[in-house]
């Protein structure tokens, strides 16, 4: 059995007295892809933000391999070097060309030689179909292109695990698949990932395991086949139903004009 990369142990987090995470536990093994779904406000994003220390947890523990990473205030950057994170809003550095965006972390944070990183960055850009965009500014890219660059930027740090926080939520529908294909490619390459998403079909396609979060607790956990086709809790069933339309307009039924129903 593969090693455990990440262990989240009964973590709690509240903002202004409101419990956002109320005892969440989670283990992710090497090469495993865990998708976290749930209604908005259920704590999905907060969970990811707690894992790489963007939010401090109130209670519980987070371990990365054999190192406890929660509750520290010093050297958080060393932890974050091992955890890649990509957000909904891409957050490329607007004052740097694509290549400089990619080089910053590996050369400054890890101190790698520029040439070596540049070569690798070029290869990865080619893999995501953006080789010719290496020397342009982010503002000239489409949303989908920006997000692919953001994924490459995180991957160049060679993280132990990638956290993806609704990375397609801000994209036009036709750009979603170009980004998600990159993620599926990463999963095939054995990347360990925790993914928060609203794309249920993508979740089903990429996940080894699905976590259903509701009001700060894990309500259901299982394989995608089981979760999407035979959820055990009523709440999960209702959540999944919200992605289909309950009522349809009967197109044969012609309404007279200016009839407001009276």
Partner 1 sequence: MDWTFIASHVWDYVGGAWVTLRFGLYGVLCSLALGMLCCLARYFRVPVFRQLAVGYIELARNTPLLVQLFFLYAGLPRVGIKFSAEACAVIGLTFLGGAYMAEAFRSGLEAVDKAQVEAGACIGLTRRQNIRYVIFPQALATAVPALFANVIFLIKETSVFSVLAMMDLMNVADTLRTSGGRTVEVLFMLVMAYLIILLPVSVIATMVERRLRYAGFGDQHSV
Kindly tell me which residue out of 4, 12, 96, 215 binds partner 1, with binding defined by CB under 8 A. Answer: 96
Q: What is the DSSP letter of 72?
A: -
Residue 12 phi, psi dihedral angles, 5° rounding: -125, 140
Selected range binding partner 1 among 24-32, 90-98, 205-213, 222-230, rule: CB under 8 A:
90-98
Kindly tell me which residue out of 42, 157, 191, 211 binds partner 1, with binding defined by CB under 8 A. Answer: 157
Using rule CB under 8 A, residue 154 touches partner 1: yes
Q: Would you say 21 or 149 has its CB closer to partner 1?
A: 149
Output the CA angle 199-202-205, nearest 5 degrees.
Answer: 155
Q: What is the DSSP letter of 182?
A: H
Least distance from partner 1 to the Cβ atom of residue 81, Å:
3
CB atoms within 10 A of CB 81: 17
- Reduce the DSSP state of residue 198 to 3 states and report it: coil
Selected range binding partner 1 among 63-71, 76-84, 121-129, 216-224, rule: CB under 8 A:
76-84
Kindly tell me which residue out of 89, 177, 181, 232 binds partner 1, with binding defined by CB under 8 A. Answer: 89
Query: Taking CB under 8 A as the criterion, which residues in 109-128 touch partner 1?
Result: 109-110
Kindly tell me which residue out of 16, 77, 234, 255 binds partner 1, with binding defined by CB under 8 A. Answer: 77
Kindly tell me which residue out of 6, 87, 99, 203 binds partner 1, with binding defined by CB under 8 A. Answer: 87
Using rule CB under 8 A, residue 230 touches partner 1: no
Buried b (16+ CB within 10 A) or exposed e, 136-153: ebbeebebbbbbbbbbbb
Least distance from partner 1 to the Cβ atom of residue 215, Å:
25
Let me know: does 221 contact 210? Beta carbons within 8 Å. Answer: yes
Kindly tell me which residue out of 7, 13, 44, 80 binds partner 1, with binding defined by CB under 8 A. Answer: 80
Gap between the Cα atoms of 120 and 62, Å rounded: 31
Query: Taking CB under 8 A as the criterion, which residues in 169-228 touch partner 1?
Result: 172
Q: What is the DSSP letter of 106?
A: I
What are the C-alpha distances in Å from 212 to residues 33, 201, 226?
Answer: 14, 15, 12
Sheet containing 59-64: give its strands across: 18-29, 4-15, 59-64, 67-68
Using rule CB under 8 A, residue 149 touches partner 1: no
Query: Taking CB under 8 A as the criterion, which residues in 26-55 touch partner 1?
Result: 52, 54
Q: Would you say 63 or 137 has its CB closer to partner 1?
A: 137
Burial of 85 (C-beta count, 10 Å sphere; 0-12/13-18/19+): buried
**Contacting residues toward partner 1, per CB under 8 A:** 52, 54, 76-78, 80-85, 87, 89, 91-97, 104-105, 108-110, 137-143, 153-154, 157, 172
């Amino acid at each position: 059995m593969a090693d455990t990369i990440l262990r989240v142990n009964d973590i709690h987090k509240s903002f202004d007295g409101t419990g956002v995470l109320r005892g969440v536990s989670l283990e992710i093994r090497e090469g495993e892809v865990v998708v976290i779904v749930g209604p908005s406000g259920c704590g999905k994003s907060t969970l990811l933000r707690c894992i790489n220390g963007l939010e401090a947890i109130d209670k519980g523990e987070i371990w990365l391999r054999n190192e406890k990473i929660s509750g520290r205030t010093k050297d958080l950057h060393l932890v974050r070097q091992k955890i890649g994170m990509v957000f909904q809003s891409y957050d490329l550095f607007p004052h740097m060309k694509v290549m400089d965006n990619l080089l910053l972390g590996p050369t400054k944070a890890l101190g790698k030689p520029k040439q070596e990183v540049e070569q690798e960055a070029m290869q990865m850009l080619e893999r995501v179909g953006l080789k010719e965009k290496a020397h342009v500014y982010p503002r000239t890219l489409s949303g989908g292109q920006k997000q692919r660059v953001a994924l490459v930027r995180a991957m160049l740090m060679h993280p132990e695990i990638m956290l993806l926080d609704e990375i397609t939520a801000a994209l036009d529908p036709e750009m979603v698949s170009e980004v998600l294909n990159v993620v599926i490619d990463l999963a095939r390459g054995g990347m360990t990932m925790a993914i928060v998403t609203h794309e249920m079909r993508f979740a089903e396609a990429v996940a080894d395991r699905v976590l259903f979060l509701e009001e700060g607790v894990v309500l259901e956990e299982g394989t995608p086949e089981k979760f999407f086709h035979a959820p055990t809790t009523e709440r999960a069933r209702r959540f999944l139903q919200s992605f289909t339309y309950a009522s349809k307009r009967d197109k044969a039924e012609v309404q007279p004009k200016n009839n407001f129903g009276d």
